[in-house]
Chain A
Amino acid sequence: MVDLERCIGCKSCETACKLENGIPMGRYRTKVVWVNPQKGGKLLFVSSPCMHCGKPACKQACPTGAIYKRPEDGVVLIDKSKCIGCRYCAWACPYGAMGFDEDKMVADKCTYCAHRLARGEEPACVTKCPGHALKFGKASELTANARSEGRWIKNIDVGTKPSTVYLERIKP
């Protein structure tokens, strides 16, 4: 869950991801985009990891079946041994979340730190986030907590049923 009000734009998540997953300069699995204020609005920061969609467009577009959704927790992963580097997945993803590893010539994206989840830890970006803006857990529980704080979920679904949830900024 990404809280657009709590995010302070520090880009700690980008660094956490890079250190934990060995992502080099110029490449990202998650990126914070600063959106300029418009018409009297406020500067906005959007942290953008993979949405780990319920119906992943990348999975549907993949000609080799390299992309799969883990049944136990819904994490979307790439079997890099099957990937042929055609980049159809990157074209298909409506959220721009699919990157490309030019060293190995395969698709590359956020795994929610699957290796950390396996050890019972949270994704690196969530653990380190100075803004307390990133949270990880069961969607129903996180959503219920947010609602009890009077917060609203932003609808960003374009038909792929994303698992990453965004909380709207607080209305003045």
Chain B
Amino acid sequence: MKLTRRSFLKVAGVAATVAGMPLTAKGAENFKTHKPYTEGGIAPVPDRVVTSGCIWCQNGCSMKVHVQGGRIVNIYGNPDDPVTGGKLCPKGQNNVNVLYNKYRLKAPLKRIGERGSSSSYKEISWEQALTEIADKLKAVKEKYGPESLAWWVAGRSESQARSGLSGTFQKLYGTPHREGTGPFCNFAGGAASNSIMGHNNPPWTYTREDFGGADFYMFVGSNMAAAKPVMFGVVNDERIKRKAKLVVVDPRMSEAASRADVWLPIKPSTDMALALSMIYHIIEKNLQNQEFIDNKVLGFDKLKAFLIEKKYTPEWAEKITGISAKTIKELAEEYAKTEKAIIMGNAGLSHHTNSMLTHRAFYMLAAITGHFGKPSMGYGCGNNGGTSMGSISVPKEKEVKPKKQRLGKSPVAWVEPMITGKPYPIKAFMSMGNPFVMWPDQERIRKALDNLDVSVYFSVFPSVETTYFDYVLPSSPWTESGGVGPVSDERRFAFNPQIIQPLHQARPERWTIIDLGKKMGWGDIFKDEYKDPVKLQKAMSKKTGFSPERFFAKKEGALRGPLPTPDAPEIGTLYTEKHGVPGKKGQFPRPSGKIEIWTEALEKAFMAQGLNPFEFYADPEIGMKDGLPYLEYIDDDASEGVTSQLIGKMRARRVKVKYPAGPEITGFDMYLTTGRPSASQFHAGTHWVWNLNEQMPDQYCMIHPDKAMEIGISNGDKVKIEGIKGHVLAKAWVYEGIRKDTIFVPHGYSAEQPFTQWKSINFITNKDKRCPISDQTNYKALICRVSKA
């Protein structure tokens, strides 16, 4: 829209109306009950400013916490942080409203009635809760074997507890089933990177010299403006200053796409075809970096032969992706010819059944054009995990090795074993995240707890899970807890000092795991002194460089891994000739020391599950609707399957790529894709914080004006979205910047949140359709029909 003087006033008028509009809040939830902690006055001048790190996203921002009279009164960015330069998004700032929040869980709860109601719970003491939980965990181990405990160590809890202590607990108990958020996030990116580069992390750091310094950016399935606002702010600033080019590939004009020079509205599920056809064109035009390939890449000829055999041309890709062959060719040529060129992928690529192969295709594209080895280039995906900080060691004689094969990478793979007992039962479940909002197949997931002997939920807020699980344990967030924040995309951890005492009866998860470990009879390992985050960090980091002293010596309070030894220096760009990956051998730490596009061993590993490492297929619902190749699953979650050779020893599912003769399903005319609603939200948790919820309060349905007109809906109308699995409602956002055949509905909303209530879009997503290699769920390419509700 051209913003004229007149239309600007209209916009300003909207601001005024929005400010005065009644909110869609239930009951008495209005401004009178949600005043900021400053009670309507200006923030006081702090008597103490403490350096801390944000708990939310993988931007990993360093923060300055303002404390006055023992209370946290404001949060600013840390101007001494070389990555963020003192900038901070709404989530980082709202950490303060997470602490002082009237909804917080205040005491441990035990279920004494039917599931599904908060009145079925009574408050109990920590002593009683942990004693009973430990007794039940021991009984499950005795009766069903240690493999029957599953623990989802998700959430935004600090890393010492989440990845450190829970791992120690796992080794002592003997279960293979402990998993973080990766399989719902971007595990596929790291797995693809491991399989081709020999290490999970992207090459770059989020500094202006590295990620900020490219001349060409291509974001594929990455709305970085909402996912990592502070880093996107730097990219956008550099783009304007240096006239760098930004291309965004996304079915909708996201916030990031709205800043781009070129927006390519690709059909959901087909990004792999785009990458393969770009490679095809580069090879055809002989624009590959042959010297780089000869010296540093294995398997180029195999790739070339396969693409030619399959005729993965730009013209082929045009029919699949909806992006014209001409555009694909121009894009490929510009990318190949620009040295400082970055391609960034994210959840838009990971949340598909072809996630592993799609990420690999983009790695191949970067590799054959020589885009690795220097700053400001390469391919990488966000949220690809951390590097080892160390752990509390367990004496060999005490470690219990699981006897049964782990059932899949994704925690969703635990659901059928919980319900059906096959191939063997899971009988105890502990969760630190929001499975009843964020997992696919919500209807089925709700049945999973019924057959369990014990279920335990760790939480800050009384989310829907607190009316289903047997025990609810209140967690202390962030500065109440202290500890290490989640790792950033670019391998940084920030240390958070404990600044205030835990409020109510909530406890840091670190304490809870230590006390539970003691009740299990492992008091010699789970020592009380480890409740102090500094002492625990000291003990954990004996062999690595993540010591408290090193954290505290940094102005930004953060360290970048890998730091394989106590005095290992922090390294910037990875995969350079000089540094490679610290602690690993060679520039590209694959067995060959080269980037492995194809090897015999890799092909065998893919073939064992029925896949060819170069072959394109779409997500099942898309394939069935449009007659594109898609996966048929030979194994389901209740079967033994085979053992994965690509992501660690665990059950993997076999598949077959099916080439349908034509469309196989009718009655669904639209594609459905899901994702983050805006920068203010991080899944379910942020909806419990008034200032974050009010920034994007409603589950919306972004829909093109032509489609809206066809079904007779206007902006703001309630619409019904019906998928194969079920239906949900959403508020129509009639928006020109989306494909006419696609709607976008954000995730993270639920019917049990305090300010606005929406049945989660995950009642439509399907838990059984997952990437056979990475085990990631397809959240982003489904089919549906839309009507006026």
Contact = CB atoms under 8 A, between A and B. Distances in A.
A84 interface: no
B291 interface: no
24 contacts: A4-B3, A6-B237, A8-B256, A12-B229, A15-B695, A18-B36, A18-B691, A22-B35, A22-B40, A23-B36, A27-B19, A31-B18, A43-B257, A44-B258, A96-B15, A97-B12, A99-B19, A104-B40, A128-B87, A128-B88, A130-B230, A132-B87, A155-B5, A157-B5
Interface size class of B (residues with CB under 8 A): 35 or more
A6 B45 CA distance: 30
Given A18-B36, A44-B3, A158-B5, A131 B11 contact: no
Interface in B17-60: 17-20, 23, 30-32, 34-36, 38-43, 45
Contacts of A96: 12-17, 19
Interface of A: 4-6, 8-12, 14-16, 18-28, 31, 33, 35-46, 48, 90, 94-104, 115, 119, 124, 127-133, 149, 154-158, 166, 168-170, 172
- Of B86, B96, B229, B690, most A-chain CB atoms within 10 Å: B229
A94 B88 CA distance: 31
Contacts of A170: 240
B76 interface: yes
A111 to B, nearest CB: 9
Shortest beta-carbon contacts, A-B, top 10: A96-B16, A43-B258, A22-B38, A10-B679, A130-B233, A25-B34, A15-B90, A10-B229, A24-B31, A96-B12
Contacts of B734: 36
A6 B229 contact: no
Contacts of A156: 5, 8-9
Given A43-B737, A96-B17, 12 more contacts: A8-B259, A10-B229, A10-B679, A16-B93, A24-B40, A26-B31, A36-B735, A38-B736, A94-B12, A128-B88, A132-B233, A157-B5
Nearest to A42: B258
Contact of A26 (B2, B230, B694, B736): B694
A106 B678 CA distance: 32
Contacts of A129: 87, 233
Contacts of A158: 5, 9
Contacts of A128: 76-77, 86-88, 93
Nearest to A40: B736
Interface in B222-248: 225-226, 229-230, 232-234, 236-237, 240-241
A157 B4 CA distance: 11
A10 B34 contact: no
Contacts of A9: 225, 255, 258, 678-679
Contacts of A16: 88, 93
Contacts of A131: 229, 232-233, 236-237
Contacts of A100: 20
B706 to A, nearest CB: 13
A19 B253 contact: no
A60 to B, nearest CB: 17
B533 to A, nearest CB: 26
Contacts of B8: 46, 154, 156, 166
Contact of B94 (A15, A33, A103, A166): A15
B3 A19 contact: no
A97 B15 CA distance: 8
Contact of B225 (A8, A101, A119): A8
A170 B255 CA distance: 16
Nearest to B7: A35
B320 to A, nearest CB: 24
B518 to A, nearest CB: 39
A25 B30 contact: yes
A80 B76 CA distance: 28
A33 B691 contact: no
Nearest to B260: A42
A36 B736 contact: yes
B129 interface: no
B270 interface: no
Which has the most chain A C-beta neighbours within 10 Å: B8, B96, B232? B8
Contact of A43 (B13, B43, B77, B253): B253
Given A14-B695, A25-B34, A41-B1, A130 B15 contact: no
B265 to A, nearest CB: 12
B74 to A, nearest CB: 5
Contact of B1 (A25, A38, A94, A155): A38
Interface string B96-107: 100000000000
Contacts of B241: 149
A31 B30 CA distance: 18
Contacts of B45: 119
A172 B245 CA distance: 11
B11 A19 contact: no
Contacts of B256: 8
A33 B11 contact: yes
A94 B10 CA distance: 9
Contacts of A10: 89-90, 225-226, 229, 233, 255, 678-680
A84 to B, nearest CB: 19
Given A11-B678, A41-B2, A22 B12 contact: no
B261 interface: yes
A95 B12 contact: yes
A12 B89 contact: yes
Nearest to A13: B90
Contacts of B735: 36-37
A107 to B, nearest CB: 13
Contact of A27 (B11, B31, B75, B234): B31
Most buried by B among A15, A18, A40, A99: A15
Contacts of B255: 8-10, 43, 45
Contacts of B16: 90, 96-98
Contacts of B36: 18-19, 22-24
